[in-house]
Structure 1
């Protein structure tokens, strides 16, 4: 059941897990660190201010679509949100400044991808959580293939996942993305050093593209953040993935349950 509270902006929680933070007066306000990393991946992928066609799998409070509409006027965006009650709540309490630029689809993310036009998006952002877990059918090679089919050549796939050491889920998700974006396509991982060192449960953002990734630009943006993150790429990413295997529909499972207090917001 979604709840809305307003300290400074709007904090949206779903089943007790912080889901989105929205400041209706300031679309540039990206309160959650992982949301800023998603924004960095989108910002570094093309010329500043250039409109893009983006698909957002998981709508939440529409934080990233709001930011993208502000940062890149004229962008065409599709938001896919399976929770009809959540979509209605957000439409009522957190209306978009320019609703004509964003089309909201109340549908399952994977089912919607199956009907979307091929090579129609510059970016696909996968940020779907059922409460605090990524549903199993959105963790497989088949799902990532469906997302890649919608991408234009050179488009970027961005996914938010959450895990903790020993990173069985995160490593398998990286192997899954690599199976769909094999070399010479590139993938990288954006995450806080504390998470990567196994000190706590946290979010990690996966970025993949058939075109060369702007790793240096991403590294600068992540390093300058109030909560700096590392960009893991190339040989270092190979070592991190290790012997992890891709996940297919036949073996897919939801992401791990966060420990109590993992996403507490003060």
Structure 2
């Protein structure tokens, strides 16, 4: 992977096809994609644990057995597929990414490891076109403006995912836990309608409603080895924990349908955009001083 750094590396603006933008920001340990002040993807040394807790959680959720064939709906900088490729080089992976600018970025700036194929297209349509029960793992990691769109929260979507999975296959969702947990409860209820086994990785503070955070949801028709996931999470600085008793959380919540057009809640996060701009301006000033001193 090419991760240029130092005085020659600078923040770049990425223009998306829908008119929105993102920032590609150099970091001492790699590169990050930042949207509305939130880091959505980070690339660094593949031999090191992924920088973002959400990526580490999804990697843990895949278990300790190499998936022969995996699909990732949503790509960004392909942090998770790259981590999978490093851990299990034999895994064949397909990434479906809607945004052409991100696909072009990964193909031209950050070369792909062997075994990863990237397709530009609508991930929901791709999922419904692959009902052949041929995938060992499907990961859904799609955010639009830091929210999960309705096409990837519904019963119809989860049903299509089950059809695309082998009997022992596993569905992994990068989701959220908001202060009132209403969305999370309904998403868990949706998964329970389709899959016999569902678990969740979440921080205790988010589960208690004290803060907005990520949640990794895991579903399968086959029993899920919770000990393998707990072992992978052990010692993680994020303090993410595996929750297997979901009945008190779901508590009668209704599944989500396409007709509901339900987005995940707006994240209640501090606005870091001003701080990021100041940090970049400071870095550029330091680089200028260094160049002048040479």
Partner of 1:118: 132
- Of 215, 218, 221 in structure 2, the residue corresponding to residue 210 of structure 1 is 221
1:254 pairs with 2:263:
yes
Q: Give distance in 2, aligned partners of 1:243 and 1:223.
A: 31
Distance in 1 between the 2:74 and 2:38 partners?
Answer: 15
1:143 alignment partner, one of 121, 144, 157: 157
Tell whether 2:76 aligns with 1:60: yes
Distance 1:146 1:262, change over 3 A: farther
What is the rounded CA distance, in whole Å, between the counterparts of 1:259 and 1:92 in structure 2?
A: 34
Residue aligning to 2:42 = 21
Gaps (5+ residues) in structure 2?
A: 1-20, 277-294
Matched residue SS, 1:43: coil
* Deviation, structure 1 residue 160: 0.9
More deviation in 200-209 or 157-166?
157-166
1:191 matched to 2:205? The reply is no
Choose which of 228, 238, 242 in structure 2 pairs with 1:227. 238
- Partners of 2:34 and 2:236 in 1: how far apart? 24
Structure 1 stretches (4+) deviating beyond 6 angstroms? Answer: 262-266
Task: Supply the distance in 1 between the matched residues of 2:36 and 2:130 (Cα, whole angstroms).
Answer: 30
Greater gyration radius? 2
- Residue of structure 2 aligned with 1:239, choices 206, 226, 248: 248
Deviations for 1:67-126, whole angstroms, at most 9, x for unmatched residues?
A: 11111112110101011112112222222132xx11111111110112225111000001
User: 8 Å contact 1:22–1:29 — kept in the other structure?
Assistant: no
CA–CA separation in structure 1 for the residues paired with 2:85 and 2:55:
15
Structure 1: tracts of 5 or more residues without a match = none
Q: Retained in 2: the 8 A contact 1:141–1:177? A: yes
Which residue number corresponds to residue 129 of structure 1?
143
Distance 1:27 1:131, change over 3 A: farther
Q: For residues 95-114 of structure 1, what are the structure 2 equivalents within 5 Å? A: 95-98=111-114, 101-114=115-128
Which SS does the other structure have where 1:73 is aligned?
Answer: coil
Structure 1 residues 159 and 83: CA distance shift in structure 2, 3 A: same
**Deviation at residue 209 of structure 1 after TM alignment:** 0.8
Give 1:244 shift. 0.6
1:34 counterpart residue number: 54
Residues 52, 72 of structure 1: 8 Å contact kept: no
RMSD (CA atoms): 1.8
Residue matched to 1:9: 30
Residues 134 and 164, structure 2, Cα contact 8 Å, conserved in 1: yes
CA 1:153–1:256 in structure 2 vs 1: closer, same or farther (change >3 Å)? same
